[in-house]
Amino acid sequence: MDAVLQALGDGSRRTMLEILRDHPATVTELADALPIARPGVSRHLRVLREAGLVSVEQDAQRRIYSLRPEALVEVDAWLESYRSLWQHRLDALHTEVARGTSRRTKEQS
């Protein structure tokens, strides 16, 4: 999981994953979407590949990269405890907002 989190720590790599979430892409397509040169994109893709976040398929002279969402399952499971913490806090906030709205409505009546 550490390799996945380190890979996700870079904004350019997250942008690449967002693109690959929608469709497979080549290095050229990814480079066109980012303000970095193709060699930089290739280095980022190597990090993503080593972390298990993307797979690559050879198609003649082109390499086509695809997202491997399975690599995010462990991170998602780890985040679940934090998600429930925030859900509890958001539920409490919702309750307080509802109470405030109810009080203001009564005061205006």
- Residue 91: the pLDDT is 83
Q: Model's pTM, two decimal places?
A: 0.75
Residues 57 and 22 in one domain: yes
Q: Are residues 64 and 76 in the same domain?
A: no
Any idea what the CATH number is for the domain that residue 64 is in? Answer: 1.10.10.10
Provide the token pair at 98: 């509802």
Give the total number of structural domains in the chain.
Answer: 2
Q: Tell me 36's DSSP state.
A: S
40: CB partners within 8 A, 6+ apart: 12, 34
Pairing state between β 54-59 and 25-26: unpaired
Query: In order along the chain (109 residues), what is the average pLDDT of each group of 10 residues?
Result: 94 96 96 94 97 94 94 90 82 85 70
The torsion defined by the Cα of 18, 19, 22 and 23, in degrees rounded to 10, comes to: -140
Rounded distance between C-alpha atoms, residue 39 and residue 62, angstroms: 15
The pLDDT assigned to 13 comes to: 97
The answer on 98 and 86 residing in a single domain is yes
Strand positions, DSSP E, 24-95: 25-26, 54-59, 62-67
* Domain housing 24: 2-69
The closest of 50, 52, 44, 45 to 69, measured between CA atoms, is: 52
62 lies in the same domain as 79: no
Q: Are residues 95 and 49 in the same domain?
A: no
